[in-house]
């Protein structure tokens, strides 16, 4: 694993502009959970141990089994599981591991069409398109929707894939303050007012782009207000449900389900299959008219490989389990577990006095310390206690609010969570004592 020692791989321009100290802190934070794993990332995750050497780390071949708060395995489907695993294995017999072609060439099997039908049904839209990468789904989508006569209004904390996708379009981009509906409305009003004289507005279309559940903050978008504004200002609404689909709402159908809003009031619902479904790739779903247009225009359909069959089988079977069509009762139990676990961990941490961001029902639990520089210590101490957490910081968050992003899973038991709370509390105390004795003792 020596090659991983050099895994930081900064581009030269990046190295040049970033100061030495920022880079050093970022490197330390990146190191916090950048360990190779082996085995299935389920309730537990097996990570290779490493030892420090001058200038970095080397992996020593031994490994550590940790309770897993570091994968986005919200419903626990990543874990080897009867129905999904059997379906994935069978699909390899029937279709092989790859279709070796983009969708528009010979990369569309009956399994692809079935998967799109199941996804569209689940999210409550007429049709859907699946794509082999979640990031790529967004990165390639906006250029098929927008051009220089379009105004795209984007939440300031939108995921990099959305921001990248929007920048490729040539559209005019405006950014509103995170989740601030007053700022969004002000922008909409001002932009439309630019169309004076009042006979027409200056934009062919306006697209508002948001996330359902923000992956670094753990908070939800204000969907009721967004829908109201998009209707009032005759705009289109795009919602990225990477972290909410499967994990939020009484039936696991994401933010629309959570807020009891008809999905037909949102123009495009996008999601990734990496998180709740233990698979990979992304999808977007909408009215037949939009999806038919995108089947022709969407760049990935022509220029990149289609989703592999075992992945499709995994998505289809996990969705059927959630809907109760396979293994009745299991889907419901998983949904109840993720809802219980998310609240239990978050409220437990709050009770212990930790700073925790986000909504009570969010499976993403960002944990902060008063001293962000102690984040790497928190991660390493927890690792030694058999708990895997990922630390995120700049550029995903401001450097002063580096955080441990705890991802809750239905695979964890209440006993696991009690152990996790006990150990986080211990580590918090240790960090606090060390820090305060440092000040008091002047050491
Ligand atoms: N959208 C959001 C909001 C995300 O958080 C992510 C990644 N976690 C993606 C898109 C990209 O998904 P993937 O990792 O499946 O490529």
Beta bridge partner(s), residue 365 = 406
- For 81, phi then psi, to 5°, come to -150, 130
Q: What is the ipTM of this complex?
A: 0.99
DSSP string, 149-217: TEEEEEETT--HHHHHHHHTTT-EEEEE-TT-HHHHHHHHHHHHHTTTTTTS-S-SEEEEEEESB-TTT
**pLDDT bracket for residue 383 (50, 70, 90):** very high
Q: With 50 as the cut, is the pLDDT of residue 440 above it?
A: no
Give the residue with greater pLDDT, 441 vs 350. Answer: 350
C-alpha–C-alpha distance, residues 42 and 326, integer Å: 21
The Å distance, Cα 245 to ligand 1 centre, comes to: 12
The Å distance, Cα 243 to ligand 1 centre, comes to: 8
The Å distance, Cα 181 to ligand 1 centre, comes to: 24
| Burial of residue 198, with CB atoms counted within 10 A of its CB: 0-12 exposed, 13-18 middle, 19 or more buried | exposed
Q: What's the pLDDT tens digit per position in 89-124?
A: 999 999 999 999 999 999 999 999 999 999 999 999
The Å distance, Cα 99 to ligand 1 centre, comes to: 24
C-alpha–C-alpha distance, residues 120 and 275, integer Å: 17
Q: With 50 as the cut, is the pLDDT of residue 421 above it?
A: yes
Residue nearest to atom 5 of ligand 1 (CA): 215
Residue nearest to atom 14 of ligand 1 (CA): 134
Give the residue with greater pLDDT, 443 vs 50. Answer: 50
Q: What's the pLDDT tens digit per position in 266-302?
A: 999 999 999 999 999 999 999 999 999 999 999 999 9
| Burial of residue 92, with CB atoms counted within 10 A of its CB: 0-12 exposed, 13-18 middle, 19 or more buried | middle
Q: What's the pLDDT tens digit per position in 224-242?
A: 999 999 999 999 999 999 9
**pLDDT bracket for residue 12 (50, 70, 90):** low
Q: What's the pLDDT tens digit per position in 110-160?
A: 999 999 999 999 999 999 999 999 999 999 999 999 999 999 999 999 999
Q: Which two tokens stand for residue 206?
A: 């306006």
Asked if residues 207 and 191 have their Cβ atoms less than 8 Å apart, the reply is no
Average pLDDT over residues 252-274: 98
What is the crossing angle of helices 414-440 and 375-384, to 10°?
A: 130
Percent of the chain with pLDDT over 70: 90
Query: Ligand 1 — pocket residues by CB below 6 A?
Result: 133-135, 138, 159, 161, 211, 215, 240, 242-243, 272, 274, 282
Asked if residues 52 and 393 have their Cβ atoms less than 8 Å apart, the reply is no
Residue closest to 403 by CA, chosen among 212, 213, 217: 217
Work out the number of other CB atoms within 10 angstroms of the CB of residue 173. Answer: 18
47-54 long-range Cβ contacts below 8 angstroms, 24+ apart: 47/383, 47/388, 48/1, 50/1, 53/5
Percent of the chain with pLDDT over 90: 77
Average pLDDT over residues 354-365: 97
Q: Are strands 364-368 and 268-272 parallel, antiparallel or unpaired?
A: unpaired
Task: Determine which helix (DSSP H) or strand (DSSP E) holds 65, and give its type and residue range.
Answer: strand 56-68
């Amino acid at each position: 694993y020596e090659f991983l020692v050099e895994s930081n791989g900064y581009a030269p321009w990046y190295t040049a502009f970033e100061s030495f100290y920022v880079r050093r802190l970022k490197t330390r934070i990146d190191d916090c959970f950048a360990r190779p794993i082996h085995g299935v990332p389920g309730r537990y995750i097996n990570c290779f141990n490493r030892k420090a050497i001058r200038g970095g780390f080397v992996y020593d071949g031994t490994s550590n089994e940790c309770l897993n708060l570091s994968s986005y395995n919200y419903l626990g489907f990543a874990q080897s599981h009867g129905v999904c695993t059997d379906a994935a294995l069978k699909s390899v017999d029937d279709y092989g591991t790859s279709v070796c072609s983009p969708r528009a060439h010979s990369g569309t099997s009956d399994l692809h069409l079935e998967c799109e039908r199941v996804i569209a049904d689940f999210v409550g839209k007429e049709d859907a398109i699946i794509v082999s990468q979640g990031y790529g789904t967004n990165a390639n989508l906006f250029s098929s929707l927008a051009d220089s006569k379009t105004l795209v209004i984007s939440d300031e904390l939108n995921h990099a894939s959305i921001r990248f996708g929007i920048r490729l379009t040539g559209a005019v981009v405006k950014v509103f303050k995170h989740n601030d509906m007053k700022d969004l409305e002000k922008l909409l009003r001002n932009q439309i007012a630019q169309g004076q004289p009042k006979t027409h507005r200056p934009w062919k279309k306006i697209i508002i782009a948001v996330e359902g559940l923000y992956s670094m903050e753990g908070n939800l978008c204000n969907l009721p207000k967004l829908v109201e504004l998009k209707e009032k200002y005759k705009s289109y609404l795009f919602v990225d449900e990477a972290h909410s689909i499967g994990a939020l709402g009484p039936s696991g159908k994401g933010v629309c389900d959570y807020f009891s809003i008809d999905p037909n009031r949102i123009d495009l619902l996008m999601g990734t299959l990496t998180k709740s479904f233990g698979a990979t790739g992304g999808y977007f779903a909408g009215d037949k008219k939009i999806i038919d247009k995108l089947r022709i225009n969407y760049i990935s359909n022509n220029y990149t490989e289609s989703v592999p069959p075992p992945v499709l089988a995994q998505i289809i079977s996990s969705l059927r389990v959630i809907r109760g069509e396979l293994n009745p009762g299991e889907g419901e139990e998983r949904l109840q577990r993720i809802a219980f676990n998310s609240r239990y961990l978050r409220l437990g941490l709050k009770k212990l006095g930790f700073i925790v961001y986000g909504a009570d029902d969010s499976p993403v639990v960002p944990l902060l310390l008063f001293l962000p520089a102690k984040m790497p210590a928190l991660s390493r101490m927890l690792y030694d206690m058999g708990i895997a957490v990922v630390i995120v910081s700049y550029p995903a968050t401001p450097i002063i609010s580096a955080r441990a992003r705890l991802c809750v899973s239905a695979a964890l038991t209440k006993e696991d969570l009690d152990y996790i709370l006990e150990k986080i509390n211990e580590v918090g105390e240790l960090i606090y004592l060390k820090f305060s004795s440092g000040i008091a003792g002047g050491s």
